Amino acid sequence: MSHCHKYAPYPDTPTKKAYKEELHALQIELVKLQKHFIKHGERILVIFEGRDSGGKDGTIKCIVQHLSPRETRVVALGKPSERDRTSWYFQRYVPHLPAAEEMVLFNRSWYNRAGVERVMDFCTKDEYEEFIDTVTAFEQMLIRSGIRLFKYYLDISKDEQKKRLAARRTDPLKQWKMSPIDAVAQKHWDDYSRARNDMFARTHSALAPWTVVRANDKKLARLCVIKDLLSRLDYTGKDEEVVCPNPDVVFTYAEAYLDNGMIAP
Q: Report helix angle 16-39 to 218-231, nearest 10.
A: 30
Whole-number average pLDDT of the chain: 94
pLDDT band at 259 (very low <50, low <70, confident <90, very high): very high
CATH superfamily of 16-78+86-258: P-loop containing nucleotide triphosphate hydrolases (3.40.50.300)
Instruction: Give pairs for 84-91: CB < 8 Å, separation 24+.
Output: 89/113, 89/127, 89/130, 89/131, 90/138
The mean pLDDT value for 104-126 works out to 97
pLDDT of residue 222: 98
- CB-based contact 205:139 (threshold 8 Å): yes
pLDDT, tens digit, 9 for 90 and up, residues 34-90: 999 999 999 999 999 999 999 999 999 999 999 999 999 999 999 999 999 999 999
pLDDT, tens digit, 9 for 90 and up, residues 156-173: 999 999 999 998 888 887
